[in-house]
Amino acid sequence: MTPVIAGLGSALPDTVEQQVLWDDFFRDHFGGRPLARRLFAAAGVRRRNTVANPIKEDLSGWSTAARMRRFDEEAPPLGHRAVAAALADAGVDAGEIGLLTVASCTGYGTPGLDIKLVDSLGLRPDLRRLFVGHMGCYAALPALGSVADFVTAQHRAAVLLCVELTSLHIQPPTDDPQQIVSHALFGDAAVAAVLHPRRTGRLTLVDLAAFTDTSVRAHMTWEITDLGFRMGLSPRVPDVLACHVGAVVGDLLARNGLRRGDVLGWAVHPGGPRILDTVERTLGLPPEALWPSREVLAEHGNCSSATLLLVVEELLSGGHLEAGGHVVALAFGPGLTLYAALLRAG
């Protein structure tokens, strides 16, 4: 039995243009520094979605406790909308779901989002629940693997929900380039996937691979501070990925009897333009191969763990995948960690 992704659904908060964010808030926030202006212009982002638009409300001085209370207000309705859309897309009733897995690195509390969704969605009281926390941008893939294992072992449908509200973690003014880059890139989103043991689905999860280079674990960090969560993002991250991504993808394909030319679609986490350029160059991909990732980056920014499922949605909406065609999904995050998934179109 091979679990299939039978449905996808997303929910996005209000949209704000990148240029408006710069003109009306971040230019003053970063003291009009030319470096900040250049980094915002080079981020590859046209617009983002945000529950906390800094033009209307500046959270940069809020305590972490206040930010978590705001997460508790904003995340449940977004998560509800995303899961409801995924269930409808799959044609699956809420009562069929045996496991709800929630992934997030931007908000915590107990009773958590998973428990609130049991009530709002009408899920079963004997539902199993799993929370995947603080793994960062790659969390969707290990979470997807755990959900798939449940579906295979228990012969029951399951839901994965990724909710990230990065706008709640805006930091005080700084001249740190790493902070400027993160503030130029990140947006908010909730995306859900329904996995089913028997339905015909859009994608089948074939295999999953992981690689962590702990020697460079300081290159990407997500630190809990008294003023929210603070991103650390070394400019050397693309260079490290270039050392490993070819081998990880090559091994994943080889053990499934495939070569790189057999892959019809690529769903790559758009951590930023340099990340995408590095993957494209290292794997020898044509420019059009990463259009779903570049489009998601432009329209939504980097939404941490929710981004990869947005890219999968974008890839599927293009209608270019033939039945039986293979897709490789790639995501990167703290560790420094690389996850890869092999999927097959239904």
- pLDDT, one tens digit per residue, over 219-238 is 999 999 999 999 999 999 99
Catalytic residue among 105, 137, 162, 303: 137
Q: What is the mean pLDDT of the chain?
A: 96
Would you say residue 202 has pLDDT above 90? no
Tell me the pLDDT band of 322, cut-offs 50, 70 and 90: confident
Both tokens of 11, joined, read 């929910």
Residue 187's pLDDT is what?
98
Burial class (CB in 10 A: 0-12, 13-18, 19+), 149: middle
For the domain made up of 203-345, the CATH class stated in words is: alpha beta
pLDDT tens by residue, 102-130: 999 999 999 999 999 999 999 999 999 99
Given a contact cutoff of 8 angstroms between Cβ atoms, the answer to whether 68 and 296 are in contact is no
Would you say residue 256 has pLDDT above 90? yes
* 303 catalytically annotated: no
Would you say residue 1 has pLDDT above 70? no
Domains 4-196 and 203-345 belong to one CATH topology:
yes
Given a contact cutoff of 8 angstroms between Cβ atoms, the answer to whether 337 and 244 are in contact is no
Domain extent listing, the chain: 4-196, 203-345
pLDDT tens by residue, 259-305: 999 999 999 999 999 999 999 999 999 989 999 999 999 999 999 99
Residue 200's pLDDT is what?
75
Residue 129's pLDDT is what?
97
Would you say residue 170 has pLDDT above 90? yes
Given a contact cutoff of 8 angstroms between Cβ atoms, the answer to whether 210 and 219 are in contact is no
R_g of the chain computed on alpha carbons = 19
Cα–Cα distance between 229 and 170 in angstroms, integer? 8
pLDDT tens by residue, 58-104: 999 999 999 999 999 999 999 999 999 999 999 999 999 999 999 99
Residue 321's pLDDT is what?
84
The CATH code of the domain at 4-196 is 3.40.47.10
